[in-house]
């Protein structure tokens, strides 16, 4: 009985050491992965990576990770005014395969949600235009236009936000107040209607759904077989 107790103690101690080593390796790998996740032509203010599954070391040995969650904040791509900054992107990566030498990785399936703040949407609009949440999944776009014979006229329009061609966010007024004034609708729409790409997403990522919420635009994204690093 004494020998059996000693054996059980040894097993428990070794098991505890294995778990500790496994968790340390996981923590190190998550930090390394956060530094290496990269999107072509874009930068992120911060990146957080969480690797799921236990034990982690056996996944590393097979170079296959069951699930990896990635959160990126402040994704910025270019400065030409044709892209919208992404405030936050949360993505679930399945079937992640690590390349030779552990310097590259690809995900078989990616599903996530991008959040665009109204401040960033305003920054992507025409100069002097502001975008706010209206109600019922709509946004309010406000700005001034110069109307011949009337001077500067301020207008606020309720607009719908939709997706175009899988990569573009489209903002378009449902109606323009004062449409009885000749030429006003065209002038207002030239200022308040706009299309911009959602900048900073990897090649292959497609926008699936968009919804205007009080905290910003929520965009569902999806992709298959994309490079994460390397």
Contact of 74 with 87, CB cutoff 8 Å: yes
User: 10-residue block means of pLDDT along the chain (230 residues)?
Assistant: 46 45 56 63 75 73 79 73 83 83 77 92 91 93 82 86 88 84 85 86 83 95 78
As a whole number of angstroms, the distance between CA 96 and CA 226 comes to: 10
Contact of 113 with 219, CB cutoff 8 Å: yes
In angstroms, the Cα distances linking 169 to 41, 87, 134, 139, 148 are 19, 15, 17, 13, 31
Rg (CA), the chain: 25
As a whole number of angstroms, the distance between CA 58 and CA 21 comes to: 12
Token output for 38: 């990269």
The pLDDT assigned to 17 comes to 42
The pLDDT assigned to 194 comes to 93
The pLDDT assigned to 13 comes to 41
Burial of 2 per CB tally in 10 Å (0-12, 13-18, 19+): exposed
The tens digit of pLDDT for each residue in 4-25 reads 444 444 444 444 444 555 455 5
The pLDDT assigned to 24 comes to 56
Q: What percent helix, strand, coil does the chain show, rounded to 5?
A: 25, 45, 25
Instruction: Please count the other Cβ atoms lying within 10 Å of the Cβ belonging to residue 87.
Output: 21
Half-sphere exposure of 46 (CA within 13 A, CB side): 5
The pLDDT assigned to 39 comes to 59
């Amino acid at each position: 009985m004494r020998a059996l107790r000693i054996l059980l103690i040894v097993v428990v101690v070794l098991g505890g050491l294995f778990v500790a080593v496994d968790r340390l390796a996981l923590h190190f790998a998550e930090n390394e992965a956060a530094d290496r996740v990269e999107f072509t032509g874009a930068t992120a203010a911060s990146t957080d990576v969480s690797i799921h599954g236990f034990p982690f070391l056996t996944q590393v040995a097979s170079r296959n990770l069951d699930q990896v969650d990635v959160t990126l904040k402040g994704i910025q791509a270019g400065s030409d005014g044709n892209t919208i900054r992404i405030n936050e992107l949360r993505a679930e990566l399945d079937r992640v395969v690590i390349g030779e030498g552990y310097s590259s990785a690809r995900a078989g399936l990616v599903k996530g949600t991008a959040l665009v703040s109204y401040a960033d949407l305003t920054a992507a609009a025409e100069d002097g235009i502001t975008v706010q949440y209206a109600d019922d999944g709509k946004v309010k776009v406000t700005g001034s236009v110069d109307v011949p014979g009337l001077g500067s006229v301020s207008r606020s329009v309720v607009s719908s936000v939709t997706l175009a061609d899988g990569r573009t966010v489209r903002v378009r007024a449902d109606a323009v107040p004062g449409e009885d004034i000749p030429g006003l609708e065209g002038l207002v729409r030239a200022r308040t209607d706009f299309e911009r790409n959602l900048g900073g997403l990897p090649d292959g990522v497609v926008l699936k759904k968009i919804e205007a919420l009080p905290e910003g635009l929520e965009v569902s994204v999806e992709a298959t077989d994309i490079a994460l690093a390397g």
